[in-house]
Amino acid sequence: MRYLSFGAGVQTTAILFMYPKIQFEEVIFADTGAELPETYEYIDRYIKPFIDGNGLKFTVVRGNEKGITNLENYCLYYRIMPSVRVRWCTSKYKLKPIFKYLETKKERPITAVLGISYEERHRVIKSPYDWHIPEYPLVSMKMTRSDCKKVIVKKGYPIPPRSGCYFCPFQTIDEWKDLYIKHPELYERAIRLEENGQKFNEFKLMPIGISLREFRDQLLSNNGDKNENS
């Protein structure tokens, strides 16, 4: 069995569109339940039709921690936040559900096609299981993220949106601002999640150390100043 571990970002989307040059028969997507709306829209509009048209299998897996299948609800229930230091959320709601699904498969060994591009080759690691063989085609072909974008465009598709949860702490300041502008309701939910955290006074989701509420108020204040000046 060969599968593509699909993260819905630029790298794995490029690998998908390079099929059948890169071989796999199944595409596995670990859905946290908290991806950006644009990600779900891109999957429905472009990814699923391509997969169906090429006779591939599309499998969606979800985490199930203490009976909770949605990462946002898990964070709220346990009053915790995703962390840049310890990526527990990736482990619980991405890797764990994929391996749980794979363990039901009788085929051995299983090859995982992973979307790490050449400039990220330091992230190449061995699998914790001897029956699970990771393969890094972008690293082997020395393809960068920029090269992946070229592949997608050449195939006639738009570049996919940033992948990841809408409350991901790895977001840049501009991405947080973009979230507030495009999806204010999701931004408000991120505020609720952040302020619900047990260690809210010590840790914040934004890289600059201010709370999402403070950042939102700064944006509103700046917009008010611009309106007055105009």
Residues 191 and 213: beta-carbon distance below 8 Å: yes
The string of pLDDT tens digits covering residues 211-230 is 999 999 999 998 765 555 55
Per-residue pLDDT band at 85 (split at 50, 70, 90): confident
The string over 143-160, giving b where at least 16 C-beta atoms fall within 10 Å of a residue's C-beta and e elsewhere, is bebebbbebbeeeebeeb
Tokens of 184: 């204010």
The string of pLDDT tens digits covering residues 29-75 is 999 999 999 999 999 999 999 999 999 999 999 999 999 999 999 99
Domain 2-154: CATH class, spelled out:
alpha beta
Residues 76 and 196: beta-carbon distance below 8 Å: yes
pTM: 0.93
End-to-end CA distance of the chain: 62
Question: What pLDDT is stored for residue 227 in this prediction?
Answer: 55
Domain boundaries, the chain: 2-154, 173-229
Question: What pLDDT is stored for residue 159 in this prediction?
Answer: 98
Per-residue pLDDT band at 128 (split at 50, 70, 90): confident
Question: What pLDDT is stored for residue 225 in this prediction?
Answer: 58
Q: What is the Cα–Cα distance from 213 to 207, expressed in whole angstroms?
A: 14
Question: What pLDDT is stored for residue 86 in this prediction?
Answer: 87
Tell me the mean pLDDT in the region 140-158.
98
Residue bearing tokens 């090269």: 147
Question: What pLDDT is stored for residue 106 in this prediction?
Answer: 86
Question: What pLDDT is stored for residue 224 in this prediction?
Answer: 60
pLDDT at 140 over 60: yes
Tokens of 61: 């897996």
- CA-to-CA separations, 37 to 8, 86, 96, 126, 182, in angstroms, rounded: 12, 26, 23, 33, 10
The string of pLDDT tens digits covering residues 160-209 is 999 999 999 999 999 999 999 999 999 999 999 999 999 999 999 998 88
The three-state (H, E, C) secondary structure of 101-142, written as one string: HHCCCCCCCEEEECCCCHHHHHHCCCCCCCCEEEECHHHHCC
Residue type, 86: V
